[in-house]
Structure 1
Amino acid sequence: MDGQRLTAADLGLDGLGRRATLVQFSSAFCRPCHATRRVLGEVAAMVDGVVHAEIDAESHLALVRGLGVTATPTVLVLDAGGRVVRRAAGQPRRADVIAALGAAIPG
């Protein structure tokens, strides 16, 4: 999965972040998804050019299957070109998200 490139169109988004994109796959009754939304939103707000996009897994089954998402929340960290640089399932810690962005944003 790491290294795969995704476009905004692949994800059903208007655009990707200028520097990185945090893609969260969620489901309606997933309690950790709410906390993940908060953490990713906070990190995206802290780092210029980073966008957080949440995708409802139940409404995008073909995408979920194509990407091998088996649990929610699942988070993909994309670099500016849409390359998957990190992937994790479960509720992330803020420090882990920031570290993953370090792999996505050069310099």
Structure 2
Amino acid sequence: MTGLWIVAGVLVVGVIAGMVLRAGNGRIRATGRERGLPESVVSALDPQSAVTLVQISTTFCAPCRQTRALLSSLAEKTEGLRHVDLDVTDRPEVAQALGVLRTPTTLAFTPSGEELLRISGVPSGPAVLDALAGPLSRVS
């Protein structure tokens, strides 16, 4: 009987953990922070684009590939938007400097390096455009 209670408890904890992770997937958080950025991020920022989306990925991450396809397509179709994918598999210090705990995480930066927002997980294209409507509307 004790074994059944243990199994039931583990299942409940697993379901709750899954729900918490799923709720945070693709969530967009506005940040407005300025911090010292790693050189690989600074060199990725495009002074000609209103917003640069910097995607933090790892080699064996399936959601990273999905995010890369979505954001690349979005950047191609949207004036003033650029997408860069940084693989941090061999450079964990980049993820650590940015405070990234999971992949994919996408950060939106102004040309000056101000972080506008961050997205954990696979985002929704329309939600990204809505969140960046202000900075992208200033594109001439």
TM-score by length of 1: 0.84
Amino acid at match of 1:60: R
Which structure has the bigger radius of gyration?
2
Alpha-carbon spacing, 1:73–1:20, altered in 2? closer, same or farther (3 Å): same
**Alignment root-mean-square deviation, CA:** 2.2
| Bigger share in helix | 2
Contact 1:5 / 1:81 at 8 angstroms: preserved in 2? Answer: no
1:4 counterpart residue number: 34
Structure 1 residues not aligned, in runs of 5+: none
2:111 counterpart residue number: 80
Matched residues in 2 for 1:100 and 1:71: separation?
21
CA drift at 1:106? 4.7
| Identity between Structure 1 and Structure 2 (%) | 29
Do structure 1's residue 47 and structure 2's residue 101 form an aligned pair? no
Contact 2:42 / 2:113 at 8 angstroms: preserved in 1? Answer: no
Alignment of 1:1-107 (within 5 A): 2-5=32-35, 9-11=39-41, 13=43, 15-16=45-46, 17-107=48-138
CA drift at 1:10? 4.7
Q: Secondary structure at the match of 2:132?
A: helix
Contact 2:103 / 2:120 at 8 angstroms: preserved in 1? Answer: yes
Alpha-carbon spacing, 1:6–1:50, altered in 2? closer, same or farther (3 Å): farther
Q: Secondary structure at the match of 2:56?
A: strand
CA drift at 1:14? 5.1
CA drift at 1:12? 5.8
